[in-house]
Structure 1
Amino acid sequence: MAKDFNSQYVVDGYDEHIRKLIPGYDVVHQQIKALLQTYADEYAHVLIVGCGTGYELGYLLRSFPDWTFTATELSETMLDKAKHHIHSLNASHRVEFVLGDVDQLKPGQIYDAALSILVTHFVDYSNKPKFFKAIYSRLKPQGLFITFDLTKIKSDQELEVLKHVCEANGLTPSQSAAMIERLDDDFYPLSESETFEQLKLSGFDSVERFTQILSYQGYLAIKA
């Protein structure tokens, strides 16, 4: 059964659960911060596609006090949680929240960078080209796109390794079994080669993988 991200129960437990579910969750955010420090402008405006509960957004707001952000989210429950979190940081004036996808952004608004962290693997295969092209169209020249997602699992052994790591991080055996069942319901993962191909076809000039933790991979793409 697919997870309901409009459920208040699911949303309230998300930040704790995601650290058990995603190997190296905090390390990945440290890497993303380092990439932004290296590639983005001093006063960047960053688009976060699928901001979830706002953890990632809050982390970046604290890290880059001169930056502004636009954050999209399809789940109103998630977006409300993110708004509350950012309000608690006294940073609401630096964020524009949008309930919807990239198509709902203001016409003509472009960004120095865009992030899609643990979001793209939820986008249906048929919609991924449109998804990538929409993000590409919203970036300034030399703008960067950072994505980190589950990629295609190639064997039963690879799946078993992921299960063991998640249980070591705190998932119960029943929760890890539910995670495996959800892979077919919720996820539309690309392989490494398919990711490169789709990003290149979307217009990105430079694409490279910046990290891999088991079946999760992160990519940095630069707009020509």
Structure 2
Amino acid sequence: MAKDFNSQYVVDGYDEHIRKLIPGYEIVHQQIRALLKTYVDEYAHVLIVGCGTGYELGHLVQLFPDWTFTATELSQNMLDKARHHIHALNASHRVEFVLGDVDQLKTDQSYDAALSILVTHFVAYLEKPKFFKAISSRLKSQGIFITFDLTKIKSEQELQTLKYLCEANGLTPSQAAVMLERLEDDFYPLSEQETFEQLKASGFEAVQGFTQILFYQGYMAIKA
């Protein structure tokens, strides 16, 4: 059964659960922040696609005090939690929250950078080209796009390896079994080659990987 991200129970437990699902979760975000410090100017407007509970957004508003943000989310409860988190940091005036998809953003606004972290693998295969192009079309020339997602798993052995890693990181065997079931219901992962091809077809250049944790991979790309 697909996970209901509008469930308050799921939202309240998300930040703890995601760290068990993805070993090295904090390190991935540290790498993302390092990339942003390297590639993005001091005064920037950054798009967060699928902001979730606002965990990463909270770090960014504190690390980059001169940046402004637009944060999208499909779940009202997730968006409300993110909004509350940013309000507690006294940064609400720097963040525009949007309930909806990238396509619903204003077309006259362009961004210096865009993040899609643990989001793209939920986008259906036929919708992915449209998703990537919607992000690309809203980035400024030479804007950076960073994505981190599950990539295509090819065998039962790879599934078992992922299961054992998550159990070592804190998932119970029953939770790990549910995770494997969700891979069939919720996820539409691309291979590394497919990711490169789709990003380049969407107007990005200099596509490269920047991190990998088993079958989760991070990529960065520059808007041509």
The 5 A counterparts of 1:120-135 are 120-135=120-135
Rounded to whole Å, the distance in 2 between the matches of 1:134 and 1:103 is 6
Rounded to whole Å, the distance in 2 between the matches of 1:132 and 1:205 is 13
Q: What residue identity is the alignment partner of 1:60? A: L
Secondary structure of 1:96's counterpart equals strand
Deviation by residue 1:117-139 (Cα, 9 ceiling, x = unmatched): 00000000000000000000000
Q: What residue identity is the alignment partner of 2:52? A: G
Q: CA deviation at 1:107?
A: 2.5
Q: Corresponding residue for 1:94?
A: 94
Secondary structure of 1:47's counterpart equals strand
Secondary structure of 1:41's counterpart equals coil
**Percent pairwise identity:** 83
Q: Corresponding residue for 1:53?
A: 53
Q: Corresponding residue for 1:180?
A: 180
Q: Corresponding residue for 1:65?
A: 65
Rounded to whole Å, the distance in 1 between the matches of 2:111 and 2:171 is 37
Of stretches 116-125 and 58-67 in structure 1, the one that deviates more from structure 2 is 58-67
| Alignment length (residue pairs) | 224
Q: CA deviation at 1:4?
A: 0.1
Rounded to whole Å, the distance in 1 between the matches of 2:135 and 2:142 is 13
1:85 partnered with 2:91:
no
Q: CA deviation at 1:65?
A: 1.2
Rounded to whole Å, the distance in 1 between the matches of 2:194 and 2:23 is 22
Q: What residue identity is the alignment partner of 2:187? A: F
Secondary structure of 1:84's counterpart equals helix
Rounded to whole Å, the distance in 2 between the matches of 1:161 and 1:27 is 20
Q: Corresponding residue for 1:20?
A: 20
Q: Corresponding residue for 2:202?
A: 202
Superposed structure 1 runs of 4+ greater than 6 Å apart: none
Rounded to whole Å, the distance in 1 between the matches of 2:166 and 2:130 is 32
TM score, norm. by length of structure 1:
0.99
Which runs of 5 or more residues in structure 2 are unaligned? Answer: none
Rounded to whole Å, the distance in 2 between the matches of 1:123 and 1:205 is 22
Q: What residue identity is the alignment partner of 1:97? A: F
Q: CA deviation at 1:101?
A: 0.7
Q: What residue identity is the alignment partner of 1:221? A: A
Which runs of 5 or more residues in structure 1 are unaligned? Answer: none
Secondary structure of 1:13's counterpart equals helix
RMSD: 0.7
Q: CA deviation at 1:192?
A: 0.3
Secondary structure of 1:209's counterpart equals strand
Rounded to whole Å, the distance in 1 between the matches of 2:206 and 2:197 is 11
Q: Corresponding residue for 1:165?
A: 165
